[in-house]
Structure 1
Amino acid sequence: MGTGMNHFQVYLIMFLTGGFLYCGIEILYRGYSHISMLLAGGLCFMLVGAVENLLGDGASLIGQMIICGLMITGVEFVVGMIVNRQMHLNVWDYSGQQYNLKGQICLLYTNLWILLSCPVIVLHDYMEYILLGSQLPNYKIW
């Protein structure tokens, strides 16, 4: 690791990067965000890396995108059930969307997360490359 940082510092930077990106996407899309989205986004960013590490070099980019999009949707569901249903903070409500589950997730946003996971996967890889000295993967589309 040539950055002079320990692993905790590196992963904290990566967690916060994911969290701020997630909040930024929300602010661009609907004009506001919530602190819970910083935590959810950071967790999702770290889990994207975990998915890549578990799948190994043989995984296709499309396969990773699908798994990551579904994983992000799962995190949104859990966070939504806690923040919106248990804590009654009403951060979001997808009840008006088709194919929603308890107003916390819906098919439209699952598909958007699948698409958005591609640049997130690449960003995560480049951050590990720069901050940890990891090798960049050879991406296979299919």
Structure 2
Amino acid sequence: MKKLKKTALLFSIGCGGYSLIEVLWRGFTHWTMGVTGGVCMCLLNSINQKCKKASLPQKCVLGSAVITGMELFVGCIVNRKLKWDVWDYSDLPFNVKGQICPFFSILWFFLCIPVMHLSTFLQKNVRALR
């Protein structure tokens, strides 16, 4: 039950936080982005907790790779297979199938900085995560 509460809390924070970032960045979001944000928050928390000896930049590189991988995975399903056109990076340099690109991978690196700090804060201060 404790693990379920922990996962639900992290997922909710990631879902809401990423949806808010999307609305602020592009003016709208899609429910699939909330789900992806929730999954990513759980994965980033896991990186932060399991890689305690890694430096913050190392955690952010790994986090950026995880988010970029999730973005490619979700994009290939929702954009390419289902044709929902949630996003398209085709106009950005060095994109892969219009689903990922270096520009956003760099943004994910910087987004990981506050997320790693939030993860540490939550781990220390929220009973459900201890």
The 5 Å alignment of 1:32-51 reads 32-51=28-47
Does residue 79 (structure 1) correspond to residue 79 (structure 2)? The answer is no
Between the aligned residues of both structures, percent identity stands at 35
RMSD: 1.4
Q: Which has the higher helix share?
A: 2
The 5 Å alignment of 1:15-94 reads 15-55=11-51, 57-94=52-89
Aligned partners of 2:75 and 2:99 also within 8 Å: yes
The alpha carbon displacement at 1:100 in A equals 0.4
Identify which of structures 1 and 2 has the higher relative contact order when contacts are C-alpha pairs closer than 8 Å and 6+ apart: 1
Aligned partners of 2:48 and 2:119 also within 8 Å: no
Aligned partners of 1:14 and 1:127 also within 8 Å: no
Provide TM-score, normalisation by structure 2.
Answer: 0.93
SS in 2 for 1:67: helix
Runs of 4+ in 1 over 6 A off after TM superposition: none
Which segments of 5 or more consecutive residues in structure 2 lack a partner in the other structure? none
Bigger Rg, which one:
1
- For this pair of structures, how many residues does the alignment match? 129
Provide TM-score, normalisation by structure 1.
Answer: 0.85
Q: What's 1:139 paired with?
A: none
